[in-house]
Amino acid sequence: MATVQTNPSGHTGGDESKLNDNKNTISLLKSILSNKPIDGSDITTLDDATHELKRIRQLMEQYNHHHTAAPTSSSAAAAAKTKPTETPVQVNADKDQHGATHEPVVDDSTEYAFGQSTRQRRTAVLEKQHIKDYVKNSIPKQPHVRELILNAIKTNLLFQQNNKDELSELVDVFEPVHFNQKDMVFQQGDSGHDACYVVEQGQLSVYVSHNGGPYHMMGTYHGGKLFGEWALVYGSPHLATVVCDVDCKLWRIKRSWYRGVVGQHRQKLIETLTKKFLPKVFLPRNKEKIYFKNLFNPTQMVTLAGLTKQISFQEGDFIIRESEKGDTFYMIQKGVVDLFIKAMKDVPITALDGGKYFGERSLLQDDVRQATLRAQTDVTCFLLTREDVNRVIGSLEEILEHGFPPKRLRMSTIQRDEKVQYELYDLELFGKLGSGAFGEVRAAKAKQTEKYYALEMKSKSFIVTNGQEDAVMNEYSILRELDHPFIVRLHCAMQDEKYIYFLADIHHDLIDIMDQKGSFSEDCTRFYSASVLLAFQAMHSNSIVYRDLKPESLALDDRGYCIINDLGLAKKCEGHLYTFCGNPDYLAPEVIRGTGYNWGVDYWGLGVLIYELYTGTAPFESYDPTGTAKKILKGIVNFPDKVTGPMKDLIKALLTKDQTRRLGVLKGGTEDVMKHRFYTGFDWEGLLNMQIRAPFELQPVTYYKPLETPDSQEDSAMPVVNWNPVFGE
């Protein structure tokens, strides 16, 4: 639902803005050079050297421009007292692989000063889910070509979390493409490109034009090089032009193939584990066999499957040895494992093949291995560790003894007014408040009570043309299911031959307040993030993932309480979801990579939100969505000095790249986040029952501008659509 804008104003920085730019330039320069050797021994390719030197020169040019400008007396005095404001912090980042991305010309150095209100209203992206309709088409390749493609992708940032089988399947679908000398593979500024390439034969040059000037060659691609991989994430405009120096043979993979292969592989893996392997595992308890299929519900089985990792052993490798202690449980996916005991010396007493398992006692406590297991052939196993299970599910010993502890759900005692039920003729329509995903939002006044509401008008033509009927009905169902003081309240749905109408309470946009202030205090940030947490607890307890957190999705009522205001991307989640959607600044790594996700994406988004509310910018903000995606996958966050230890620790715990280790996804759920020291002493019950004072109280809006054109003129061009859904209770 869109909301009322309360006099948004742009933030102007003046000389203070220049000072902030200087401080950020110095800090960014430090960030670029942090943890790097003075002798430059980390530079391994011309691409690396060109890219780093270009970034440094641009930053220094920016610094010199502001530093040499004549400052006012106030800005000069401020500069004399000011220290650099950022400290680079690594947030669970993978080890850097120099030269892995092979992007010699892309400039991702554009940064934003903390607290500068230069933002535009951001909208979510929603891409068609590829795994349902995708049909894999394997292209035959010579072994040396498969090896060339595999070596090109396996160390790349985008592919680093893909397992061995996934990488092999991705190599399967690369197709050959031929270009002649002087052919252009793609041009700087072109958008909509959806393919990534690996060079088999030939050489290509990379050219960049700055601000419409002449093109300069920035580097070359040759045999074994990967380029254009970020087109597998977004169709953003290209930052360079790539031209063939000679006739070239390339191999390419398209975005829908990449997402289809990865999504289907992960989906099949989860299905294999939850239906074939995990159900038949049992744990010994008082001479009984407690089978997983009887101990865990379907959602918990999917969670267990998500904790499972794959590991490969070569023929002759020892997997476990007799008498050693272990905390790892193994299930054989493929291959044969010999089992030995010391009493029989080198003669195996049995052989275990696919579907068999061993080491299950280690899930309960440290297990002294009773036998040695050795790979008779090449073997691939699924493994679970006790530490992972205890962290996310809980202690299996305690669960077997006492059962699963009940999940806490905080309930509000507020008595809310009854929902209203109106027809269109009961309402007087006013001017436009904003835009929704499928149309616009207008103010509407009930003729009987003269109370104002927000009326979202969803175009039936747009919905049907884009195949979004299920999405609209899903949003309606979720809005009707959730009844929480910090989630937008849908009163009723109506329709005519051209529109679907959702009638909801009308509120003020939080982003308008943020535009005026630039950023919020720590207390304000704590208050608003706590409201989001309580809303998340209600959603997640109903197996609903939100997926669209950002300041633009939050609203304030007249008393200043924070409300999640747009549930267009919310969805029921009993296992894993694979749809690529959300705001680019807030996407979790697992969404970008297409490996499947659950409600953990909401806690990643919360970490981004806390950072943005307090500093004024998102932590991974960049020149375009592609640059943002790179930063998200690297997981490096620069914290201003003003960020306190508790806030920094909370953000880092929420921005954990491994979703199975992310705060909020662990066994304590939302309560784990609420118990973090950042919220020490916070009155959760007072907030839930709206008994504590909000940071800002807002004046109710009593006037809305009239319609700019009569309804009959405005809607006459809208086509009539024969789609009439039933809106029940």
How big is the CA angle at 591 (ends 95 and 238), to the nearest 5 degrees? 80
**Residues with catalytic roles:** 548
Euclidean distance between CA atoms 329 and 358, whole angstroms: 6
Q: Which residue has the tokens 């998340």?
A: 536
E strands, 172-280, in order: 175-179, 184-186, 195-201, 204-209, 215-221, 226-227, 241-244, 248-254
Whole-number Cα distances in Å, 656 to 226, 398, 600, 602, 645 = 28, 27, 10, 12, 17
Count other Cβ atoms within 10 Å, centred on residue 367: 19
Euclidean distance between CA atoms 66 and 432, whole angstroms: 42
Q: Which residue has the tokens 């049907």?
A: 464
- β-partners of residue 579 are none
The strand pair at 554-556 and 562-564 is best described as: antiparallel
Euclidean distance between CA atoms 436 and 441, whole angstroms: 6
Q: Closest Cα partner for 373 from 418, 332, 423?
A: 332
Provide the sign of the torsion angle of the four alpha carbons 211, 215, 220, 222, taken in this order.
Answer: positive
The strand pair at 175-179 and 248-254 is best described as: antiparallel
How big is the CA angle at 102 (ends 99 and 105), to the nearest 5 degrees? 115
- Give me the amino acid identity at 466: N
Q: Is 125 helix (H, G, I), strand (E, B) or coil?
A: strand
CA 114 to chain centre: 22
Q: Which residue has the tokens 């290509």?
A: 204
Count other Cβ atoms within 10 Å, centred on residue 677: 11
- β-partners of residue 452 are 445
Three state DSSP letters for 569-620: CCEECCCCECCCEECHHHCCHHHHHCCCECCHHHHHHHHHHHHHHHHCCCCC
Euclidean distance between CA atoms 189 and 168, whole angstroms: 32
- Give me the amino acid identity at 84: P
